[in-house]
Amino acid sequence: MRQLLLLCALLPTAYQSFAQDVILKSDGEEITGKVITITPDQITYVSAAEGRSDTLHLASSTVFLIRYANGTKEVLRNSAAPTEPVMSKEEAYTRGRLDARKFYRAPSAFWGTYASTVVGVGYGGVVTGVVVGTTKPKAQNFVVPEATLLHNADYMAGYQQQAHKKKIGSVVGGFGAGVGTLVVVQAIILAVLFRNFS
């Protein structure tokens, strides 16, 4: 039994030691290794090729994407590539709203309101819902497709407004689910009571 517990404890560590970063070059070539540093000019990494443990350098301009061992991805832009056209205020605002619809999630607003509704027998959910619903989403919780969009004020205004609407929707959904749970629990209790008295 002890050996099984030790195996279960060490298995995630062993998996992480074999996990490697993947560097995807612009020409489609994939390089497996551990990325050490990224600068505007070059990427320094340790090769994962068997028998090689030396530090290698690669020009940043030849790299399209880095997929890290933890699952995150970083897209590198080639400085020689043409830049995207500048968005107007309206376009940035609209894109912010669309991205918030697509990427913003507020699970804590839903579950917090749900739990307080069930525990507080409805009244706790109203108080929590009002407090959470009137609090605007924090920018640190925003998920955007491109980090540079966080510096565009019009984009952020659109994103914030839509994210706040989604947060309010999550609060209302959590309250509704909590009330539904309470109704079902009360119906079950009443059914059991009437069955016992019949």
Residue 72: helix, strand or coil by DSSP?
A: coil
The CATH number assigned to the domain holding 42 equals: 2.30.30.100
Do 152 and 103 lie in one domain? The reply is yes
Which pTM does this prediction carry? 0.53
pLDDT in tens, the chain (198 residues): 666 555 555 555 444 445 688 888 888 788 888 888 888 888 888 887 766 677 888 888 888 888 888 888 888 765 444 455 678 899 999 999 999 999 888 888 889 889 888 888 778 888 888 888 888 888 777 888 887 888 888 999 999 999 999 998 988 999 999 999 999 999 999 999 888 876
Do 142 and 60 lie in one domain? The reply is no
Give the C-alpha separation, 115 to 130, whole Å: 14
Residue 193: helix, strand or coil by DSSP?
A: helix
7 part of a folded domain? no
104 part of a folded domain? yes
- Residues making up the chain, counted from first to last: 198
Number of C-beta neighbours around residue 3 at 10 A: 7
11 part of a folded domain? no
Q: Which domain holds residue 30?
A: 17-75
Do 100 and 187 lie in one domain? The reply is yes
Closest by Cα among 111, 113, 115 to 128: 113
